[in-house]
Structure 1
Amino acid sequence: MNKQRIQSPAVKEPAPELWSNCLRVGDVAYVSGMTARGPDGQTVLGESEYEQARVVFQKIKDLVVAAGGVMDDVVKMTIFVTRIGNNAKIWDARKEFFSGDFPACTLVEVSALAKPEILLEIEATAHIGCSGQQAA
């Protein structure tokens, strides 16, 4: 199996030699922790975890689609939050991106993320094609 770097024009790539946003090995796509940073590198400011989660889930979707899959191919997520008491807002956003069996998920509260305005970070693993749905 070969490792393939997956890119989407909708998701800003990190500087060279830092990390990959998404790698595909066989039928598995690994999406690095995504935050609500926009294409300009600035955090998309929202007053709630819901707004930032929508941005993050869209970035994950863009990368999974670029890898040949659909969001329902995501089987595992790890969500890091700075305010665990607001987790219901993340679940509300998640419902807008998944259907059927939701991914296995771990939610962890951390003391801080890369910038103070970042409220959450989500990493995901997708098995491309496992949902039986075809990418659009």
Structure 2
Amino acid sequence: MEPVTTDGAPSFTDLYSLPIGQGMIHGETLHAAQLPGDPETGEIIGDTMSEQAERTLDNIEATLEAGGSSFDDVIKVTVYVTDLDSFEEFNEVYRQYVSEPYPVRCVVEVSDLAATAMVEVDVEAAV
């Protein structure tokens, strides 16, 4: 396995000493998960789902690129949201990052996420 690191997304290990990697390559697959954290401070950014979705997907994009991949190579996306009523707002932003053929996607409503996050995204991508 090979860790993926980037300055373009928050490192919660560096910022908060948490055992959380930015991304990991295993075989020919990159696994990454991100929150809407500021890349420098880790602070959750955005008061709306749109703002948080954009920051989260920017963080995912930076991690994918650092691992030699891109949204074009994403196979599967899992989206965790604290309110399914805001999911269409997430989709409006998500459409700017993906194109056909669309990755498989699972959406899960959760009762809470870290800090003030409304969304968390994890992806699997080919490298």
Q: TM-score, normalised by structure 1?
A: 0.85
1:134 aligned partner: none
2:96 aligned partner: 96
1:123 aligned partner: 122
Paired residues for 1:17-56 under 5 Å:
18-32=19-33, 34-38=34-38, 39-46=40-47, 48-56=48-56
CA–CA distance in structure 2, aligned partners of residues 110 and 24 of structure 1: 27
2:9 to 8, 11, 14: 11
CA–CA distance in structure 2, aligned partners of residues 43 and 14 of structure 1: 12
CA contact (8 A) 2:10 2:59 kept: no
One-letter amino acid of the structure 1 residue matched with residue 96 of structure 2? E
CA contact (8 A) 2:80 2:110 kept: yes
Alignment deviations for residues 59-117 of structure 1 (CA, whole Å, 9 cap, x no partner): 111111111112110111111111101101111111111111111111111111112x2
Gaps of 5+ in 2: none
- Considering fraction of residues, name the structure with more helix: 2
Answer with 1 or 2: which has the greater Rg.
1
CA–CA distance in structure 2, aligned partners of residues 55 and 102 of structure 1: 20
Q: TM-score, normalised by structure 2?
A: 0.90
Three-state SS of the structure 2 residue aligned to 1:40 is coil
RMSD of aligned C-alpha atoms? Answer: 1.3
How many Å apart are 1:17 and its aligned residue? 6.2
One-letter amino acid of the structure 2 residue matched with residue 87 of structure 1? F
Aligned pair count reads 123
Identity among equivalent pairs (%): 20
One-letter amino acid of the structure 2 residue matched with residue 29 of structure 1? L
2:86 aligned partner: 86
1:133 aligned partner: none
CA–CA distance in structure 2, aligned partners of residues 79 and 17 of structure 1: 21
